[in-house]
Amino acid sequence: MAREYLKKATLTSKSGASDVTATVQGILDEIEAGGDAAALDYAKKFDKYEGTILLTDEEIAAAAALVPEKLKADIRFAHDNVRRFAEAQKSTMTDVEVEIVPGLIAGQKVIPVDAAGCYVPGGRYSHIASAIMTVTTAKVAGCKHITACSPPRPDVGVAPAIVYAAHVCGADKIMAMGGVQGVAAMAFGLFGLPKANILVGPGNQFVAEAKRTLFGRVGIDMIAGPTDSLILADSTADPLIVATDLVGQAEHGYNSPVWLVTDDRALAEEVMRLVPTLIDDLPDVNRENATAAWRDYAEVILCPDREEMAATSDDYAPEHLTVQAQDLDWWLNRLTCYGSLFLGEETTVAFGDKASGTNHVLPTSGAATYTGGLSVHKYMKIVTWQRATREGSKPVAEATARISRLEGMEGHARTADVRLAKYFPGENFDLSADG
């Protein structure tokens, strides 16, 4: 039996997407040419905000005072978890030195970028966790300057909990500016900020397009589309928990795909029965998003066995992948394409999104086939170096000269020739292309 679609998506995450490229390019060009004043004009237009752009210490303290103590404790708990995991990741990256051939030493150094720009969404939802995920990892990496940027609300400013989280996690500056103008301000070094070497964090289609356009001039974490989630479940899974987890991810947005892949028809049918009821019980905005996402983008796929389930999952390469099935170690060893993996009923995507320690900035739209998510590694440059004794350079110079001449790069060859002549006068070397 091949895969059977008990529910098939009528749209894809790219369906109906407007072309924002020209709009974003125009805004970036105007801000680069006009500097601070142009960015402020766009902030006034789009953010409807004319307050302080770079928050002062007093404003940060005032925002923190508005955050309930229990929420502060939760933010610190999540920060500690993310920090510990990031520190463990960083420990896997080390400087290396190795003698390639006698007398020739090569090595690598791991160096953090100087300045990171962290975008924290603050529109429909205040993404407190995004401040934790992006700023903490940059801090652990050792970036010298970290800017946290988040859209302000008219006459209010950045959500106090975002301000508190960014501050606790180590942001050097907190900027009240959203959208393309916020991304541009960090990339171009406006308002006295250093130019960001890397831009990270989720955002809407305009933020994503701005990062894509600027990539090359600056580094980025990834080009993100709508969030997506897949659940692998067998007959041992609890249908209510599976359905709740699907709904929990569908509320992200109207075009956020959720997929269920199973080898148990009864489970699939029960989940499909439960989901609409669970969606109807959500608050208004959440219900609207989840209804559209489930109706237009969700899929339920029935497979003959777990191997086909795993193959289906790898084909989809989901951002979030949950396994609620027997033999979790088998799935851990078999699955290869996902942003982050959640093994067993006892964990769920929301844990990773908010507080468990792994990062929630993850590859979407199938990008998990070639990349992982945001981590401390994204802020680190792995650079190489070498040095040699004269004897150690001898065989390398000979090989370099001959290869270069075979390629037709005579200038390259002569940089080897001149060293051989200096270090080993009187010796005859056959350095021709056919030597």
Write down the residue that tokens 């200038």 correspond to: 411
Highest-pLDDT range among 10-14, 113-117, 122-126:
113-117
Average pLDDT over residues 24-48: 97
Write down the residue that tokens 């995920």 correspond to: 133
DSSP-assigned letters across all residues of 265-307: HHHHHHHHHHHHHHHHTS-HHHHHHHHHHHHHT-EEEE-SSHH
Residues 112 and 198 in one domain: yes
Residues 210 and 92 in one domain: yes
> How many C-beta atoms surround the C-beta of residue 179 within 10 A?
23
> Within a domain: residue 3?
no
Question: How would residue 18 be classed by pLDDT, with cut points 50, 70 and 90?
Answer: low
Residues 196 and 71 in one domain: yes
Beta bridge partners of 157: 153
CATH of the domain at 333: 3.40.50.1980
Residues 58 and 45 in one domain: yes
> Within a domain: residue 5?
no
Write the pLDDT tens digit of every residue in 80-104: 999 999 999 999 999 999 999 999 9
Write down the residue that tokens 């402020």 correspond to: 40
> Within a domain: residue 15?
no
pLDDT at 156 over 90: no
Residues 182 and 207 in one domain: yes
Residues 234 and 213 in one domain: no
Whole-angstrom Cα distance, residue 32 to residue 28?
A: 6
pLDDT at 376: 96
> Within a domain: residue 265?
yes
Write the pLDDT tens digit of every residue in 161-189: 999 999 999 999 999 999 999 999 999 99
State the chain's mean pLDDT as an integer. 95
> Within a domain: residue 137?
yes
Catalytic residues: 319-320
Whole-angstrom Cα distance, residue 159 to residue 174?
A: 12
pLDDT at 12: 79
The residue among 24, 15, 5 whose CA lies nearest residue 254 is 15
Whole-angstrom Cα distance, residue 265 to residue 156?
A: 51
pLDDT at 124 over 80: no
Whole-angstrom Cα distance, residue 421 to residue 417?
A: 6
Average pLDDT over residues 152-161: 92
Cβ pair 321, 232 in contact under 8 A: yes
> Within a domain: residue 6?
no
Residues 318 and 186 in one domain: no
Question: How would residue 15 be classed by pLDDT, with cut points 50, 70 and 90?
Answer: very low
Angle, helices 57-65/160-169, rounded to nearest 10 degrees: 120
> Within a domain: residue 330?
yes
pLDDT at 306 over 80: yes
pLDDT at 123 over 90: no
Question: How would residue 320 be classed by pLDDT, with cut points 50, 70 and 90?
Answer: very high
List the domain range (segments joined by +) for residue 408: 389-423
Residues 139 and 44 in one domain: yes
pLDDT at 13: 64
3-state SS assignment for residue 139: helix
Counting the structural domains of the chain, the total is 3
Residues 305 and 235 in one domain: yes
Write down the residue that tokens 């983008």 correspond to: 297
Residues 334 and 256 in one domain: yes
Residues 111 and 143 in one domain: yes
Structure tokens given for 192? 């006295």
Question: How would residue 20 be classed by pLDDT, with cut points 50, 70 and 90?
Answer: confident
pLDDT at 16: 45
pLDDT at 224: 86
Residues 159 and 59 in one domain: yes
Cβ pair 372, 98 in contact under 8 A: no
Residues listed for the chain: 435
> Within a domain: residue 296?
yes
Structure tokens given for 218? 């600056």
- Radius of gyration, CA atoms only, the chain: 26
